[in-house]
Amino acid sequence: MNTLPRVLSILSLLLVWLLLSALFPPTIVPGPIAVFKAMGENIASGKAFFHLYKTLLRVGFGLILTMALGIAIGTLMGLSRKGEVFLDSWVMVGLTVPAIVNSIICLLWLGLNDRAAIVAIGTAAFPAVSISIWQGIKGIDTQLVGMGQAFHLNRSAIIR
C-alpha cells in the first residue's frame, strides 16, 4: 500500500537527476550512470570501505567530544546556579551558530585534517546535549535528593 508512492518518489528523483545532468555539464551535475559506475569502481577497488572507515572514525570521535563537553557543561549548569548563569549564554550562542559555520571556522583554524572535522562535529552538537543534561538535572525530584541527604549519602552518591 505504501510501496507504490515510495517507488514513484525514487523514480521521480532519478528522473529529475537525469534531466539536471542533461542541462548541466558533468562537472556540476554528473549523471546517474556515471555516478553508479564510479561507485562500483570505488567499491571494487576497496577505496569506498577505507573512506567509510575514516568517516565513521571522525564521527565517532566527534560524538565522544560532543558527549564529553555536553555532559560536563550540562552537569555544571544543572548543579550550580553560578555555572548556569555563566554558561547559559555560551550554550545558547552555540545553538544559534549553524554547523557549517563551525566547520568553516575549524577548517580555517586547524587546517584540512581529521582534527578539524572532529572538533567541528563536537562543537556543533554539544549545545543540544548540554541543554538536555541541564534540563534533566533541573527536573530531578528534589524529594529524592532530600531523602539521599537524610540517609547521609555523600554528594557524588546523590548525583549518581
| Model pLDDT for residues 9-43, shown as the tens digit of each residue | 999 999 999 999 999 998 999 999 999 999 999 89
Is there a single domain that holds both residue 97 and residue 71?
A: yes
Is there a single domain that holds both residue 40 and residue 59?
A: no
Residue 67: is its pLDDT beyond 90? yes
Domain of residue 103: give its range.
Answer: 49-159
pLDDT, position 61: 96
Q: Which residues contact 152 (CB under 8 A, 6 or more apart)?
A: none
- The letter for the amino acid at 28 is I
Q: Return the H-helix or E-strand segment holding 151.
A: none
Is there a single domain that holds both residue 87 and residue 66?
A: yes
Is there a single domain that holds both residue 138 and residue 65?
A: yes
pLDDT, position 135: 92
Is there a single domain that holds both residue 37 and residue 69?
A: no
**Band (141; pLDDT cuts 50, 70, 90):** confident
**Band (2; pLDDT cuts 50, 70, 90):** confident
Q: Which grid coordinates belong to 77? A: 549548569
Is there a single domain that holds both residue 118 and residue 150?
A: yes
pLDDT, position 1: 64
Count up the domains in the chain and report the number.
2
Rounded CA-CA distance 48/40 in Å is: 9
CATH number at residue 62: 1.10.3720.10
> What pTM does this model have?
0.72
**Band (57; pLDDT cuts 50, 70, 90):** very high
Is there a single domain that holds both residue 131 and residue 145?
A: yes
Q: Which residues contact 123 (CB under 8 A, 6 or more apart)?
A: 65, 69, 94, 102, 106
